[in-house]
Structure 1
Amino acid sequence: MAPIFPRVLLIGKYRDPSSGPGLARLATLLHTLGAEVFLESHCAPALQHDLRLPLLNLEDPTPTPDLVISLGGDGTLLSTARSLAGSGTAVLGVNQGRLGFLADIPLDTIEETLPPILAGAYREDRRSVLVAELWRDERRIVSGLALNEVFVHKGCGESMVELRVLLGDRPLYTERADGLIIATPTGSTAYALSAGGPILSPELPALLLVPICPHTLSARPIAIGDGLELRLSLLAARHPAALSLDSHHSYPMQAGDEVRVRRSPCEARFIHPLDHDFYGILRRKLHWGELPGEERC
């Protein structure tokens, strides 16, 4: 039987030759299952192993892959998913990192896990994506995507930033803090969680606003609907502030700049095994909801 995903593109952690054996293992298995296998061209120079695979550029792939397998940690998977957002191409995360919250399939179990997926036995998981724009003097100077969070912060300075936040045309609040995180449900288990924010179920059409070390003790995280645009005006900053997207790209800001954040019409499409369970991962990976000494589920 032909695989559901006949063309598969493999991606490893960039500039990391340690991903070579794992990619070779995946390529061998995929060939056995009847798939045509490609290697992402930016990964190839770092690999010491001669995989002898045809190369594809993720930014302009020809032919278009049916499935992309990301080998590494959550950071590698996020970078891959950002590049593919809106393309409709499915992404599968194989964990060779530390936590592996999104890249939830251990490499050690891949021979048992991957064949059913290629035969069509999988669970699909679509995640929201944010568009962030940096405006200065009524001119857009930066635009980018974020899967986890958009973060406006004090940069390398020691002083707080002062932000005015609007939801559409309605004022939410003015806040002095070290920064403000605007997180998707996906990002609610990342930086926003470590900053004291709640966990949002992945399917919720919501955004999470989490202040970092706010000046007032009354400032608390808040979840809002993602149907309206958020506008963050930088009112004051003694030192250059910054806009960061998924802790991957960072752009300098100055007083008077405005960041506009909205949900993108495109989505990231993840593939998981049939037994994938978001709440089970919370329990296993983050020990969520466990009592001291309680046996893990």
Structure 2
Amino acid sequence: MAKPFQRVLLVSKYRDPSVRPGLQSLRDFLLAQGLPTFLESECAADIGESLGLPLLSFAEAKADSDLVIALGGDGTLLGTARQTAQSGIPILGINQGRLGFLADLSIDQVSEALPPILEGHYQQDLRSVLLAELWRGQDCAYSGLAINEVLIHKGGGESMIELQVQIDDRFVYTQRADGLIIATPTGSTAYAMSAGGPILTPTLAALLLVPICPHTLTARPLVVADTVKIRARLTARRQPAALSLDSHCSVPLEIGDEIVIRRASCSARFIHPEEENFFQILRGKLHWAESPGED
């Protein structure tokens, strides 16, 4: 059994008033358990109230004693994970979104599933994080972390972009496509899966390159070790191109810009119920357990 948690920090999907009843329900349940409970500072500013809870920022939370509970969908968990990856604070997801590969529990399961987790009966899951840097000439114009994927894409235009891709300074290809996804195993069940990439188990030490609607039919997804450094240089575009990290930002790109992607030194730390496993999640989310219907 792991060490019980001593405090809980609640965070919810931003700019979504529908999460307030769920937050209130979580607050009431945790306080009834006698567990010190806080509301994340930016979350409180977003919903316009503290729900009667003391406020705590991510910077003030402690990795060895605190648990962050994120209420929302996978986007909420990804944003929370980017905030906490450097400090290693654990995150538990309560799903109030759509598919929810990362958010394990629904709000209806809290009363049954949450007490064992709070007492230390849980499994820990460390997920790899990507560091992406945008180099414009000799200057690093932008850098950031991604849990799911780094996406280089054509922005809002209709024309394809052209990228020259290198892995560990070895030329791989020049690709004309709508974009290129560089994903972690976590991200293999997100945009990369929609674009035709394979599903990677979360603990696999690998990165995934998936072209989006490539101009050639011979282009295929590529899985490489996560120790490599990937360079993608924008060599041609007719309309604006952009760089996105986990779909939470969009940075305009210029011809000659180079995006350097490698695994970051930190990891995202997720908490799951003891009995859960990745294949169970796949069966549930992708309906693998259902039998084909009869004609």
Shorter-chain TM-score category? over 0.9
Q: Which residue of 1 aligns with 2:248?
A: 248
Aligned length: 291
Q: What's the RMSD between the two structures over aligned residues?
A: 1.7
Residues in 1 aligned to 2:260 and 2:86: alpha-carbon distance in whole angstroms: 20
Tell me by how many angstroms 1:287 deviates: 1.8
Whichever residue aligns with residue 4 of structure 1, its letter is: P
Residues in 1 aligned to 2:39 and 2:130: alpha-carbon distance in whole angstroms: 28
Moved over 6 A (4+): none
Structure 1 unaligned runs (5+)? none
Matched, 1:129 2:129: yes
Question: Structure 1 residues 114 and 289 mapped into 2: Cα distance closer, same or farther (>3 Å)?
Answer: closer
Question: Structure 1 residues 4 and 111 mapped into 2: Cα distance closer, same or farther (>3 Å)?
Answer: same
Q: Which residue of 2 aligns with 1:180?
A: 180
Q: Which residue of 2 aligns with 1:79?
A: 79
| Residues 62 and 89 in structure 2, CA contact (< 8 A), matched pair in contact too | no
Tell me by how many angstroms 1:127 deviates: 0.2
Q: Which residue of 2 aligns with 1:24?
A: 24
Matched, 1:163 2:163: yes
TM alignment of 1:230-245, pairs within 5 A = 230-245=230-245
Deviations 1:72-114 (A, max 9, x none): 1111111001100021210000011121211010110100001
Q: Which residue of 1 aligns with 2:264?
A: 264
Question: Structure 1 residues 136 and 49 mapped into 2: Cα distance closer, same or farther (>3 Å)?
Answer: closer
| Residues 151 and 180 in structure 2, CA contact (< 8 A), matched pair in contact too | yes
Tell me by how many angstroms 1:203 deviates: 0.2
Tell me by how many angstroms 1:159 deviates: 1.3
Q: TM-score if structure 2 supplies the norm length?
A: 0.94
Q: Which residue of 1 aligns with 2:113?
A: 113
Tell me by how many angstroms 1:288 deviates: 3.5
Residues in 2 aligned to 1:63 and 1:123: alpha-carbon distance in whole angstroms: 19
Q: TM-score if structure 1 supplies the norm length?
A: 0.94
Q: Which residue of 2 aligns with 1:41?
A: 41
More divergent stretch after superposition (256-265 vs 91-100): 91-100
SS of 1:264's partner is strand
Deviations 1:33-76 (A, max 9, x none): 23211001222244477621001223x32677611000111111
Residues in 2 aligned to 1:89 and 1:170: alpha-carbon distance in whole angstroms: 37
Tell me by how many angstroms 1:239 deviates: 1.4
SS of 1:163's partner is strand
| Residues 6 and 34 in structure 1, CA contact (< 8 A), matched pair in contact too | no
Q: Which residue of 2 aligns with 1:221?
A: 221
The sequence identity of aligned pairs, in percent, is 62
Residues in 1 aligned to 2:194 and 2:232: alpha-carbon distance in whole angstroms: 22
Residues in 1 aligned to 2:142 and 2:167: alpha-carbon distance in whole angstroms: 20
TM alignment of 1:204-215, pairs within 5 A = 204-215=204-215
Whichever residue aligns with residue 230 of structure 2, its letter is: L
Q: Which residue of 2 aligns with 1:57?
A: 57
